[in-house]
Structure 1
Amino acid sequence: MVQKKRPIHKSVREYGQGIIGGLLFSFPMLFTMEVWWAGFSATPLQLLLLIVTTYMLLLGYNRYAGMRAETSWRSILIDSVEEMGIGLVLSFVVLFLLNRIRLEGMTIDEMLGKTILEAMAVSIGVSIGTAQLGVNSENDKDNGKKPEELTAEPRQASWWSDKSSLLALSFCGAIIVGGNIAPTEEVILLAIESEPYHILLLSILSVVLSLIAIYYSVLNGPEKHNHKSKLFNVAFDTCLSYLVALVASAMCLWFFGRFQNVSFYVAVSQCIVLGVIATLGASAGRLLIK
């Protein structure tokens, strides 16, 4: 978040935006009992995988939708570490104020488990908040540039770069939105009580939601492509967003132990049920978060 010779007041403003964003996107998880229990029962391997996955998501988001798009990889790596640090501090403070962490009568493992689990969602919120809640990013990019540089059209990104950014933003959106619902009992309840045609209709609904978001993002976007190319991008991005949503749903459900002692059908049904919510994050991530 902080670059060399960057004014202190701008750095403070960025940290403030990050804190607000972190709390805004993670408060539901901070107030969810199932997440507290998951943090208490999580194994060191699960926590390690969660930290690595979150860091990769932060790298992707900061690379493709960060506050300063032209920043170096070194700055991206540092920003991501800072965001995880802020997430850890915020999570510990909020859980302590909620009396979910007690300095006496609670083991270090339990405190670390709860803090780390909550901090990963907070960290993604910090990254989004830092990049999107401020209005000064355009001014920062414009400082020091000549008028002809400001009016020049941006270079068109390659197809692979565009899809990589979509993938990164979709995962971030699916995790931050679907992760708030995954630990609740309602997901497995709906999966068990729903008939097969309910699951099919939910899957169709998810695709339609993704299609609508991608349609307005691609077809009405600034990219100059022919009509057939745009239609292909709409279809491809819709499928990619829904696939990402299902994968993100499966990852969240697995982490919270929702696949234990259930049949394959119930496990898949849970992914599709949660996928409705995750799809909104995955597809709208490109439209709203980017």
Structure 2
Amino acid sequence: MRPISLPNQRQWQQEIAELVRGMSGGFLFGVPLLYTMEVWWIGSYLEPSLMLIILAVTFVILFLLNRTGGFRQLKLDQFWQAAMDSVEALALGVFCTLLLLLLLRQITLQTPLNEALGKIVLEGVPFALGVALARSIMQGGREGDDADSDGSAQDNYNATLADIGATLIGAIFIAFNIAPTDEVPMLAAATSPAWLLAIIATSLLISYSIVFAANFTTQARRLQTEGLFQNPFVETGLAYLLSLGAAAAMLWFFQRLSFADPWTSWLAQTLILGLPAAVGGAAGRLAV
């Protein structure tokens, strides 16, 4: 029987450093939303079934983010490690949320259990996302990925996967704190179809300019990289669709939209939130 080896001091130090990095990213990303009253109210009446759905969806997002960024050093092909890190990120997010909600007295001994759980689950999502984004926030993404690239089909697949993850990272990072506010439906109600078309055009133009026209540091490399995303116009269009999808999911997540609402409400509010999401998605792709 193979003996079980205990972690040495260096491994413990690395583990502690990674946990601190993850929690720091959680605080950076999650604290702003913690001071938003709309989120407290929504969390107070969440149904248990919706809590489970939110946790499941959050896990899937965390998995995608951990495949791209994460709070540990991780290769793109380590599927099970990304899954385990996603569970850990979710647990760290819940722990940080509980700690601060107790500190701010939004949860006390008198708070009903269902209300407390709803607040923890809803507020815990941005903290968990912050944990998964920790290395992207603090270290600028993965180190050394480009050096290992040899132009193979696997590298092209990894580059495409990294761009998808980076687009979602940036879109969520910028738009997540905007989604629960009343400003989005207010702006959507006052916007005509012609202005929505202008918003689409502006979102695409800004996204293209940030990545391919502003001469940022990674622009030349991106133009030379092969892969599904790497054609400038195809990348801009696909990234915008991903950003819109993320925007719609965030609006549903914060119960600003429901499936009973007309499609026109979904379209208008998604396009309104899609503008900052597209900007964030473009910025995210520059980081990889």
TM-score (norm 2): 0.83
Q: Is 1:189 paired with 2:174?
A: no
Q: Aligned runs of 1:4-153 on 2, under 5 Å?
A: 7-66=11-70, 67-70=72-75, 72-104=78-110, 106-130=111-135, 132-134=137-139, 153=148
Change in Cα spacing, 1:81 to 1:50, as seen in structure 2 (3 Å) is same
Separation of aligned partners in 1, 2:45 and 2:147: 54
Displacement of 1:224 after TM fit?
4.0
When structure 1 is superposed on structure 2, of 62-71 and 31-40 the one drifting more is 62-71
Aligned identity (percent) is 30
Question: 2: distance between equivalents of 1:103 and 1:206?
Answer: 47
Structure 1 alignment gaps of length 5 or more: 142-149
Which whole-Å CA distance do the structure 2 matches of 1:128 and 1:14 have between them? Answer: 12
Q: Which amino acid in 1 is paired with 2:190?
A: E
Q: Secondary structure at the match of 1:155?
A: coil
User: Considering only aligned residues, what root-mean-square deviation do their CA atoms show, in Å?
Assistant: 3.0
Distance 1:152 1:35 in 2: 43
Corresponding residue of 2:209: 212
CA 273–180 in structure 1, closer or farther in 2 if over 3 Å, else same: same
Q: By how many angstroms is 1:131 displaced?
A: 5.2
Distance 2:271 2:147 in 1: 44
Contact 1:25–1:125, Cα closer than 8 Å, also in 2: yes
Task: Compute the displacement of 1:171 (Å).
Answer: 2.2
Structure 2: runs of 5+ lacking an equivalent:
1-5
Q: For 1:253 and 1:225, how far apart are their aligned partners in 2?
A: 34
Aligned residue pairs total 274
Q: What is the alpha-carbon distance in structure 1 between the residues aligned to residue 22 and residue 164 of structure 2? A: 23
Q: Aligned pair in 2 of structure 1 residues 110, 217: CA closer, same or farther (>3 Å)?
A: farther
Task: For residues 8-33 of structure 1, give each alpha carbon's deviation from its aligned partner in whole angstroms, at most 9, with x where no partner exists.
Answer: 22222222221111111122211111
* Matched residue type, 1:77: A
Alignment deviations for residues 85-117 of structure 1 (CA, whole Å, 9 cap, x no partner): 11001011111112211122x111111111011
TM-score, structure 1 as length reference: 0.83
Which residue is equivalent to 1:146? none
Determine whether 1:253 maps to 2:251: yes
Deviations, residues 247-275 of structure 1 (Å, cap 9, x unaligned): 11111112222235754323311111111
> Match of 1:202, SS?
helix
- 8 A contact 2:163–2:229 mirrored in 1: no
Higher mean C-alpha displacement, 59-68 vs 82-91: 59-68
